């Protein structure tokens, strides 16, 4: 369903509390999930390939590759969020904020709201992440135990298809995890819009007060002019 541009602007540029940003952000994500999936499935697939590659490093290369694997995965998450957001803006699902609408240090004024939104989003992501990574962790543990047994002289107990099964499990888990991470976009998108709107309202209020003050001063000068 295509949205009217004015409707999208009013959805974004609206003063909200942190709780409202979270609630409406997740509602926005779930109600538009089919469109989000249609525009981002290729990015999610690329993320799944990178995440699967990172997961295989400590399993099939060396256990001491765990930290490089985590670093690679973190970089993939950042790129996923940035590219997906820009795609959704280009496709018209997200409204681009006016340039300069959020000052560089505006987050200090809204530190409480930003902390609440980011903390809640991370809790949701980590909760879903544990569920989606469980099959992958089981496969990784099975491979590690088998490799430790081989090093101690035991025969290889893994079937021949285990390597490809591991790759498939990692790819599926990575693809699902891409959309787990993308749930962050809804609340953060509305939070940024709320910050921009509150900044706009403060600027307009300040300008209105200054104008009224000048008008009052001008009238007083006319009245009390000798």
Note down pLDDT in tens along the chain; length 226 residues.
444 444 444 577 788 888 999 999 999 999 999 999 999 999 999 999 999 898 888 777 777 788 888 899 999 999 999 999 999 999 988 888 777 667 666 667 778 888 999 999 999 999 998 888 887 778 777 777 776 766 676 666 666 677 788 788 889 989 999 999 999 999 998 998 888 887 777 777 777 776 666 666 655 565 655 5
pTM: 0.78
> Nearest-CA neighbor of 198 among 107, 117, 89?
107
What is d(CA 144, CA 107) in angstroms, rounded to the nearest whole number? 44
Neighbours of 69 (CB within 10 A): 18
Q: What is the H or E stretch that residue 23 is in?
A: helix 18-31
């Amino acid at each position: 369903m295509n949205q009217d541009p004015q409707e999208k602007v009013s959805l974004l540029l609206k003063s909200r509390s942190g709780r409202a940003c979270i609630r409406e952000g997740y509602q926005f994500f779930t109600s538009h999930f089919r469109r989000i999936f249609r525009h981002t499935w290729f990015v999610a697939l690329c993320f799944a390939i990178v995440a699967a590659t990172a997961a295989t490093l400590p399993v099939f290369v060396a256990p001491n590759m765990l930290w490089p694997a985590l670093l690679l995965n973190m970089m993939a998450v950042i790129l996923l969020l940035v590219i997906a957001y820009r795609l959704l803006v280009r496709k018209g699902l997200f409204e681009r904020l006016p340039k300069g609408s959020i000052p560089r240090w505006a987050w200090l004024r809204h530190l409480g709201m930003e902390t609440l939104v980011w903390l809640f989003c991370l809790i949701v992501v980590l909760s879903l992440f544990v569920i989606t990574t469980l099959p992958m962790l089981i496969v990784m543990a099975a491979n590690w135990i088998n490799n430790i047994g081989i090093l101690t002289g035991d025969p290889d107990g893994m079937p021949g298809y285990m390597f490809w099964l591991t790759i498939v499990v990692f790819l599926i888990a990575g693809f699902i995890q891409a959309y787990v991470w993308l749930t962050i976009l809804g609340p953060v998108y509305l939070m940024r819009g709320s910050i921009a709107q509150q900044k706009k309202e403060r600027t307009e209020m300040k300008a209105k007060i200054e104008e009224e003050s000048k008008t009052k001063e001008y009238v007083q000068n006319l009245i009390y002019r000798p």
